[in-house]
Structure 1
Amino acid sequence: MTHSHSGGPTADVSVRVAWADDADAIAAVQVRAWPELYAGLLPAEAFPNDVEAVAAQWRQSLARPADARNRVLVALERNRVVGFALTCPAADPDCDPVADGELAEVTLDPAERAKGHGSRLLQAAVDTLAADRFSRAVTWVNAGDDALRTFLTEAGWAPDTAHRELDLDGTGATTVKQVRLHTAIA
């Protein structure tokens, strides 16, 4: 899945299943991206900034996933991780965990946006959900995240009327409204 672009240096871009060795790189992307994704919702000190601690959690989940259908995909530029996506069986009470898969997260390094990595990750995630025999995919989006919602809508996802409020700090003081989008998987 390598694409070259004429008229410039060849940039090798791809998406593959994550390896345990990717834990540090995934953690670094997450630590860089989260403060931007949740800016205005949580204070800076609420975000993990210890890449090593986050990486340790990733190493554990990559080595021993709780479910065989819990997948981690990484977007690469040459051999550098620039983003990741998580797919798994949908956990919502109104979802069917056999038919409904969830795109649990799509996170890009803030410095690597608008280069096509998100589209490649999304396509690979849907292909992965299809390979795991899900017939529908759902994902939760922060209600105020117009960029992500537009990106998904343009890729064929649509709201399915479900919505929820997440308690971000466990006290009820900081909540974020989310809407669920879904798409049929061919």
Structure 2
Amino acid sequence: MVVADVSVRVAWPADAPGIAAVQLRAWQQRYDGEAAAGPDADALAAAWRQSLSRPPEARHRALVALAGAEVVGFALTGPNADPDADPAVDGELAEFTVDPGATRGGHGSRLLQAGVDTLAADGFTRAVCWTDAADDVLRAFLTSAGWAADGASRELAGESGTHVKQVRLHTALG
């Protein structure tokens, strides 16, 4: 029997290039190949390296999904900063990205479970995740795992003038 070498763990600064590569591929897919307008891989990796070396506080965590030694996804967890949140009990899955070439391999399920477990271990009893309103696949994935829309939405403006509408999903932890 062959067992796949897959796992999820806390991200290290050395994972920065892999996280940046996954982020750029996902961004390119999400925005129809407009990667040329986004940050370059080296600058993004440097930003990730710095962020992973100095998180804002102990409850801000980055997790990576791995296939062997290759980063195939990442998630960020921490306190929820929404105006209607109680940061003592409300956590956030602030980012949840699986490499477009590695979907349907169980990485997302492992990464989501690790994110939920991390939030619960950090003392949060509820969690939210903001998703692109147009990302039906991610919303369906999260809802199949027990998350539900709570009616909140927001619109973010990017540096390139793009606007992204997001909807908020929530779940109870524990």
* Pair 1:24 & 2:17 matched: yes
1:39 corresponds to which letter in structure 2? Answer: D
- 1:109-128 to structure 2, matched below 5 A, reads 109-128=99-118
Q: How does 1:59-138 map to 2 (within 5 A)?
A: 59-138=49-128
What residue in structure 1 maps to residue 168 of structure 2? 180
Residue 37 of structure 1 corresponds to 30
Q: Distance in 1 between matches of 2:19 and 2:119?
A: 20
Q: Residue 158 of structure 1 aligns with which residue?
A: 148
RMSD: 1.4
> Which protein shows a greater Rg?
1
Measured against aligned partners, the alpha-carbon deviations of 1:69-125 in whole angstroms (never above 9, x if no partner) come to 110000011111111111111111111111111001111111101100001000000
Per the TM alignment, residue 39 of structure 1 is displaced from its structure 2 partner at its CA by: 3.0
CA drift at 1:27? 1.0
Identity %: 65
How high is the TM-score relative to the length of structure 1? Answer: 0.89
- Deviations 1:105-148, CA, capped at 9 Å, x for gaps: 11111110110000100000000000100000001011111100
Q: State the TM-score, normalizing by the size of structure 2.
A: 0.94
Count of equivalent residues: 174
Letter in 1 for 2:167: V
Which residue does 1:14 correspond to in 2?
A: 7
Give the structure 2 partner of residue 3 of structure 1.
Answer: none
CA-to-aligned-CA distance 1:7-32 (integer Å, 9 cap, x gap): xx431111000011111111111111
